[in-house]
Structure 1
Amino acid sequence: MDFTLPPELEDYRRRVRAFVEQEILPVEADRANWDEHENIAEAPLEALRAKVKAAGLWAVSMPKERGGQGLPLVGVAACYEEMNRSIFGPVCFNGSAPDDGNMRVLNMVGTEAQKERWLQPIIDGKVRSAFAMTEPNPGSGSDPGMMRTKAERKGDRWVITGRKWFITGADAAQHFILMARTSDDTRKGLTAFLFDKDQPGWRIERRIPIMGPEEHGGHCELIFDGLEIPDENVLMKVGDGLKVTQIRLGPARLTHCMRWTGLAKRSLEIAGAYVKERESFGIPLAEHEGVQWMLGEAAMQIEIGRLLTMKAAHALDHGSFARKEVSMAKVQVADTLFKAVDTAIQLCGARGYSKDTVLEWIYRYARQAKLVDGASEVHKMVLSRSYLAEGDDFWSWA
């Protein structure tokens, strides 16, 4: 087994790392570049995006013919990890959620007309997007089968009524992918639709306050009260909505893991630098055995998460759905991100708890990792079902 990146992918990784170091980290360090939601403000973001495009590092997961770099998921994993060395990194490269997942699914299953209308503007960075699936109780969450938002056929249109919430990026999105129920069929009852922000018949009810820093566009509650969508804006076919979610969510969960690994490494980077210079009882903190245990444990867990993420990326690149591989990576990396930043804050003491570093930002952000794109408990259920069905083959080398 060879875990070495091919030369082309290693070159991309190195260039992304250098760009983050030289261009993005200095912007992050100046709080004047932050917006009111603790993300990068629009003006510095647009300036950095222009530099990313000039450097040939834009939209690494998208095809070259559409303005991306055409990297396989293994290469995307290496680059996304480097991008999220900065808390502002992924959005600067057009590699952040939810745009990344939406671009991927539109590129995989959209018609050519849909790609031109809905995908290309997202790739170009002209618009942002959102994926509207999650609903308030008793609607769909981890179980799409509980979907209550309805799409009813009226003439040559579908009319949408219902409610969604915690829709990431909705307040800044122009293009939306919407999941709605079109029949009571348990397997073919959901359909994916495309709609534009400027269409009537829907509204943002509120931008939901959360404990952590927010992506651009926040997390919103949406009300649909007569949105009309023509057949040409059905993604795949009527009844294929569950298939769309499966195609989108597997790789999207994994790209979270790629980015979160970068944040976990950044946390240890800050802590490592501090314990080397801070002295206690006459020696640097780094020479205390207890500190070494904490750093060593966190570093090991990060490496386990990286390996699981790469294994899942490799499987997806080779045509597998990689359900159990993605679930293992999701659980491990979500736990590891929280452990890494918690360890870093503990080692940095009051400095880590303050806003003198980005550790407190990462800490608040990290708590959502165990919830988004399926709670950890749901992924453990997936793993249990796989094990009970496969037995010892669960650990097959194939």
Structure 2
Amino acid sequence: MDFKLSEKTERLRQRIRQFVDDELIPLEKVADSYDEHENIAPAILAQMQAKARERGLWSLQMPVERGGQGLSMAEMAPCYEEMNRSIFGPVVFNSAAPDDGNMMVLNKVATEEQKTTWLQPIIDGAVRSSFVMTEPAPGSGSDPSMMLTTATKEGNDWVINGRKHFITGAGVASHFILMAKTSEDKRKGLSAFLFHKDDPGWEIIRRIPIMGPEEHGGHCELQFNDLRIPDHHRLMEIGDGLKLTQIRLGPARLTHCMRWLGLAKRSLEIATEYVSHRESFGFRLADREGVQWLLGEAAMEIQIGRLLTMHAAWKLDQGDFARKEVSMAKVVVSNTLHKAVDTAIQLCGARGYSKDTPLEWIYRYARQARLVDGASEVHKMVLSKNLMNEGIDFWKWG
């Protein structure tokens, strides 16, 4: 791999950094910038999104002909990292989960008619979206084959019944991608469908309270009672639901890693600025060996995470599913984010634990990283299976 960024990507990265420094980080210090769920307030979000669009920083992951910037996965990595140096960053650039992953998968698998109806409004920022898969026990979680929500064919419609939970963004979404069981086949038993928030036959039972700050729309529990979806709103072929899930989750997991690296870097930025001027017993904290060890180790682990993420992005750009590489990045970077912000809070002391910096926000947010899009233990199982199958070729080049 050549790790040198192209002139185009480097210019874009610098412009995103400037926007984050000038426009977003100052907002973090203003109480009115936050909504009741500790995210950027809708009115301010609309203003910032308009500015991002005007400056050509909108929908980096989407094709130019659809209003995006047409970046590859490897080009997205440094740019997503920069945007999430602010806790408000990703949603401002229309690159936040779950819209980010939904846009990418729809762009890959939807028909042209479906792209016009379902994808383009998300790219334009006219609507938000949600991916509806996870179910309460004993339904599907990390194992999609356990899905209990059913889709039954009746004429030209599919009738949906079941319950889902922890559906990110559902509270504000208009466009939904739904996974449901269409047969008992373990490999080809799931199918994917599109539905709109105004379609009758479903409801949000509750917005589930969580430990950390939420994405817009929260994490919701949904109930389906005879929701009817026309067959032309089915994504891919009947039984291709698991395939669609695999197509979506690999890139989506990796863009999580890209954004988390930005938060990890921001945490160390705050810590290094503090220890550079804070004195104790006649010495700056930065001059103390123990502090240097903490900072050095955290910085090294961020760089390891960046290399794993870039390698996985490069493989995805080659047309590989990069399951092994994405799993490694997901495990390492989720741990790295937690370690970086924990280190920063420790070095900043009471100030880091307070709300005078965004560190406590990042800390609470970071805990979910080891759970979302597959718990770390599940990804380690994936890696173990690959090791058993490949032997020494687990570490092959290329």
Q: Same fold (TM over 0.5)?
A: yes
CA contact (8 A) 1:309 1:326 kept: yes
State the percentage of identical aligned residues: 71
Structure 1 counterpart of 2:105: 105
Q: Does 1:363 align with 2:350?
A: no
Structure 2 counterpart of 1:188: 188
For 2:330, give the aligned amino acid.
Answer: K
- Matches for 1:231-242 after TM superposition, within 5 Å: 231-242=231-242
- 1:255, distance to aligned residue in structure 2 (A): 0.3
Segments of 4+ in structure 1 off by > 2 A?
none
For 1:36, give the aligned amino acid.
Answer: E
How many residues align? The count is 398
Q: Deviations over 1:99-147 (max 9, x none)?
A: 0000000000000000000000000000000000000000000000000
CA distance in 1, matches of 2:81, 2:31: 23
Range 9-18 or range 121-130, more displaced:
9-18
- 1:305, distance to aligned residue in structure 2 (A): 0.2
- Matches for 1:290-301 after TM superposition, within 5 Å: 290-301=290-301
Structure 2 counterpart of 1:33: 33
* Unaligned runs of at least 5 residues, structure 2: none
- 1:373, distance to aligned residue in structure 2 (A): 0.1
Q: Deviations over 1:288-313 (max 9, x none)?
A: 10000000000000000000000000
- Matches for 1:262-341 after TM superposition, within 5 Å: 262-341=262-341
Structure 1 counterpart of 2:213: 213
- 1:20, distance to aligned residue in structure 2 (A): 0.7
TM-score normalized by the length of structure 2: 0.99
CA distance in 2, matches of 1:235, 1:77: 28
CA distance in 1, matches of 2:166, 2:22: 34
* Unaligned runs of at least 5 residues, structure 1: none
Structure 2 counterpart of 1:347: 347
Q: Deviations over 1:56-109 (max 9, x none)?
A: 110000000000000001111111000000000000000000000000000000
Range 106-115 or range 148-157, more displaced:
148-157
- Matches for 1:88-99 after TM superposition, within 5 Å: 88-99=88-99
Range 7-16 or range 118-127, more displaced:
7-16
CA contact (8 A) 1:27 1:44 kept: no
CA distance in 1, matches of 2:382, 2:317: 21
CA contact (8 A) 2:328 2:379 kept: yes
- Matches for 1:2-151 after TM superposition, within 5 Å: 2-151=2-151
- 1:314, distance to aligned residue in structure 2 (A): 0.4
CA contact (8 A) 1:213 1:365 kept: yes
- 1:2, distance to aligned residue in structure 2 (A): 2.5
CA distance in 1, matches of 2:3, 2:237: 39
Q: Deviations over 1:229-266 (max 9, x none)?
A: 00110000111000000000000000000000000000
CA distance in 1, matches of 2:311, 2:155: 48
For 1:382, give the aligned amino acid.
Answer: V
Q: Secondary structure at the match of 1:311?
A: helix
CA distance in 1, matches of 2:338, 2:69: 31
- 1:28, distance to aligned residue in structure 2 (A): 2.0
For 1:103, give the aligned amino acid.
Answer: M
